Amino acid sequence: MSKASTAFNVNRVKRQLEVWLGKDNVSAAEVDKICYSRDAWPLRLIRLGRLVLEYQPDLIVWPQTVEQVQKIVRLANQERIPLIPVSGAGGVAGGTLAVTGGIAVDLKKMNRVLEFDEHSLTVTVEPGILGQELEEYLEIRGYTSGHFPSSIFSSALGGFAATRSAGVLSSKYGKIEDMITGLEVVLPTGDLLRTKAVPRSSMGPDLKQLFIGSEGTYGIITELTLRVMPLPQATKFASFLFPDLTSGISAVKQIFRHDLKPALIRLYDENETRFVLGRFKSPPEGACVLNLMYSATKPLVQLENRMITKICKNTGSEDLGPGPSKHWWENRFDLYYPSSLNMGPGMLYDVLDVAASFANLEKMYWAMREAIEATGVSTMSHFSHFYPDGGNIYVIFIGHAGEPEAVETKYNEVWQVGLEAANQAGGTLSHQHGVGLLKADWMPIEHGASGFALLQAIKSYLDPNNILNPGKLGLGTAPVKQQKGGR
C-alpha cells in the first residue's frame, strides 16, 4: 500500500487547483509557506524565534465551498499528496504543521454563518469562522456560544471541533463536544458524511464524536451545528482565599455536589495565587485562591452567589470580594502575548493540560509539580475546568536553559517527566489542548495497545492512502497495513 509523500509535481497540481479555486486561492510562494509552518506550539515558536525553517507545506489553498474541498481531497487521494487541514492555526501542539510537505488546506474562507435557528437555539456555520467572529455575530443578536477558549481570537470553529477544545466557561456551557449537534465531514476519499443535527440519538454510536478530536486525520470538517444560549442577564464575580490546595479542592467538590455550576471556576495553586492576587493581597504561604464568575439569570446568579459563598466560608476560606476574579476576567489574555520573559534567548515555556478524577487530582498535581520542578524549571498551576467527578490541571512551566540545543532538550525532558507523572497518577494526558505532534508518541500509552490499534484501524479504513494530516495523533506515520475487505 502506498502512502502520501511529497514527491508530487507541485506545478502541475498547482495549475489544476488554480483552475478549480482561482489563482488567488492557491499559493506556492516561499513566504506564504513559511507563514503556514507554525501554529502556537511553544516549541515551534521557540525554534521559529531562531528562524529555523521547517514544516512547510508545498502549497496552500483556500477553498470556499465544500465541493472545492471534495475536489482537493479526491485529487490528493489520487496523487497520494498529504493534506493538512488548517483554519485558525491557534493550536498549541503542532496539529497543523506539515510533517511531510503537501497541501495546507486553509478553511478560513469558508467562514459563513449558514443558519441561525432561534427556535432551536442552534447556529450552523462553516469551519473557517473564527471564534471571535461567531461570538460577535451571536452577541449582536442577544446570544452566545459560551465557548471562550483563550485562543478565541485566533482559532476557528473547525479547529475547536478538530481538537476537542474547551473554553474557560465550560462548567456552565460545556465543552465543544457538548455543544456540537451536527457535523459535515469530507472523508479522505472525497465522500461527504453528514450527521443529523439533532439533540441526541441512540441510532448506534455517535458518529460525529469520531471526528471531534480527530485533528484532521479522519476527515475535514466542513460544517458544524452548535447549541447557543441567550446572553446572560447578570454576571457577578467572587474570589475566596483558601489556606491550602486541599481545602480549595474540597470546596469545589461541595459546590458541584450542591448541583451548582458557576460559569467560571478556577482554583490556583500557591505559586499562581501569588501571581493572580498580585496587587490585591500578599497571600500566606500555601494559600490558594478560587476565582468564580456567576453568569445566568438574576435569580440564579443570586442563588449561586449565596450558596457558594456559604460553602467557601464553611471550608475555611477568606472572602476576597469580586476584585481578583474580575481583574482576571478583564485581563485574561495578557499572558498570551509573547514577551522577552517567555520568548527571550534561552527561555523555554509551555503548559501541560491534564485531568483526573478527584480521587487522583491532588496526588497528580503534586507528582507532576515535583517531577517538573526537579528538572530546574519553575511551575505555577491552576485547575480551571471542573466536573462533579474531577477536574483538569494546567501546569505552566518556564525556565532558562541557555543554548538552543539545551533549551529543546530541557523542554522535552519537562514534558517527558510531567506526562509520566500524570499517567502514573491515573490522569489523561490532555484535557483540552489535543495531541498534534507534541503528544503523538503518548497516544498508545493513553489508549493502551488495543485502543490505539483501533484508532489506527479506523484511520487505515477511512484513509488507506494516509493523505490526511499524516503524523498527527501518532497516526499514519508509517505505511498502514491494508485491511482485508477495506475500501
For other proteins, the closer of residues 3 and 44 by Cβ is 44
Q: Exposed (0-12), middle (13-18) or buried (19+): which is 331, by Cβ within 10 Å?
A: exposed
Among positions 110-129, residues that touch other proteins (CB under 8 A) are 111, 128
Site string for other proteins, 350-379 (x = CB under 8 A): ------------------------------
- Minimum distance from CB of 22 to other proteins (Å)? 12
- Please choose, out of 119-127, 301-309, 330-338, 373-381, the segment that lies near other proteins by the rule CB under 8 A: 330-338
Select the residue interacting with other proteins from 106, 215, 269, 463 (CB under 8 A).
Answer: 106
> Would strands 122-125 and 220-227 be described as parallel, antiparallel, or unpaired?
antiparallel
51 binds other proteins (CB under 8 A): yes
Q: For residue 238, how many C-alpha atoms fall within 13 Å in the half-sphere facing its CB?
A: 26
Closest to other proteins by CB, 116 or 461 = 116
- Of residues 334, 405, 450, 484, which one binds other proteins by CB under 8 A? 334
- Figure out which of the listed residues 90, 101, 158, 159 binds other proteins, where binding follows CB under 8 A: 90
Is residue 49 near other proteins by the rule CB under 8 A? yes
HEC-encoded secondary structure of the chain: CCCCCCCCCHHHHHHHHHHHHCHHHEECCHHHHHHCCCCCCHHHHHHHHCCCCCCCCCEEECCCCHHHHHHHHHHHHHHCCCEEEECCCCCCCCCCCCECECEEEECCCCCCEEEEECCCCEEEECCCCEHHHHHHHHHHCCEECCCCCCCCCCCEHHHHHHHCCCCCCHHHHCCHHHHEEEEEEECCCCCEEECCCCCCCCCCCCCHHHHCCCCCCCCEEEEEEEECEECCCEEEEEEEEECCHHHHHHHHHHHHHCCCCCCEEEEECHHHHHHHHCCCCCCCCCCEEEEEEEEECHHHHHHHHHHHHHHHHHCCCEEEECHHHHHHHHCCCHHHCCCHHHHCCCEEEEEEEEEEEHHHHHHHHHHHHHHHHCCCCEEEEEECCEECCEEEEEEEEEEECCCHHHHHHHHHHHHHHHHHHHHHCCCECCCCCCCCCCCHHHHHHHHHHHHHHHHHHHHHHHCCCCCECCCHHHCCCCCCCCCCCCC
Asked if 268 is part of the footprint of other proteins (rule: CB under 8 A), the reply reads no
Among 81, 89, 228, 260, binds other proteins (CB under 8 A): 89
Smallest separation, CB 434 to other proteins (Å): 15
Please report whether residue 56 would count as binding other proteins according to CB under 8 A: no
Smallest gap from residue 297 Cβ to other proteins (A): 25
In the bound state with other proteins, the residue whose beta carbon lies nearer, of 340 and 450, is: 340
Least distance in Å: CB of 299 to other proteins?
A: 30
Q: How many residues bind other proteins (CB under 8 A)?
A: 40
Q: Which is nearer to other proteins, 29 or 114 (CB)?
A: 29
Binding residues for other proteins restricted to 15-44, rule: CB under 8 A: 27, 29-32, 34-36, 40
Q: Are strands 103-106 and 83-86 parallel, antiparallel or unpaired?
A: parallel
Question: Which residue lies nearer to other proteins by CB, 279 or 337?
Answer: 337
Tell which one of 14, 109, 227, 261 touches other proteins (CB under 8 A).
109
Extract the C-alpha cell encoding 294: 456567576
Could you tell me if 76 and 34 are in contact, meaning their C-beta atoms sit under 8 angstroms apart? no
Q: Compute the least distance from the CB of residue 441 to other proteins, in Å.
A: 24
Which part of the chain contacts other proteins (CB under 8 A), choosing from 1-9, 46-54, 118-126, 437-445? 46-54
Closest to 41 measured CA to CA, from 96, 85, 82, 88: 96
Binding characters for other proteins, 391-430, by CB under 8 A (x = yes): ----------------------------------------
> Could you say which of 8, 62, 218, 256 contacts other proteins (CB under 8 A)?
62
Q: By CB under 8 A, is residue 276 in contact with other proteins?
A: no
Q: Is 45 in the site for other proteins (CB under 8 A)?
A: yes
C-beta separation of 430 from 374 below 8 A: no
Determine if 222 is a binding residue for other proteins (CB under 8 A).
Answer: no
The correct pick among 13, 26, 43, 60 for binding other proteins (CB under 8 A) is 60
Q: Which is nearer to other proteins, 116 or 452 (CB)?
A: 116
User: Please, what is the end-to-end C-alpha distance for the chain in angstroms?
Assistant: 12
Which of 4, 130, 312, 443 contacts other proteins by CB under 8 A? 130
Beta bridge partners of 457: none
Least distance (Å) from other proteins to the CB of residue 44?
10
Query: In this chain, which stretch among 75-83, 333-341, 399-407, 438-446 interacts with other proteins, using CB under 8 A?
Result: 333-341
Residue 333 in the binding site for other proteins (CB under 8 A): yes
53: contact with other proteins by CB under 8 A: yes
Question: 70 to each of 77, 219, 486, how far by Cα in Å?
Answer: 10, 11, 21
Give the footprint of other proteins on this chain (CB under 8 A). 27, 29-32, 34-36, 40, 45, 48-49, 51, 53, 60, 62, 88-90, 106, 108-109, 111, 128, 130, 132-133, 136, 140, 151, 153-154, 333-334, 336-340, 343
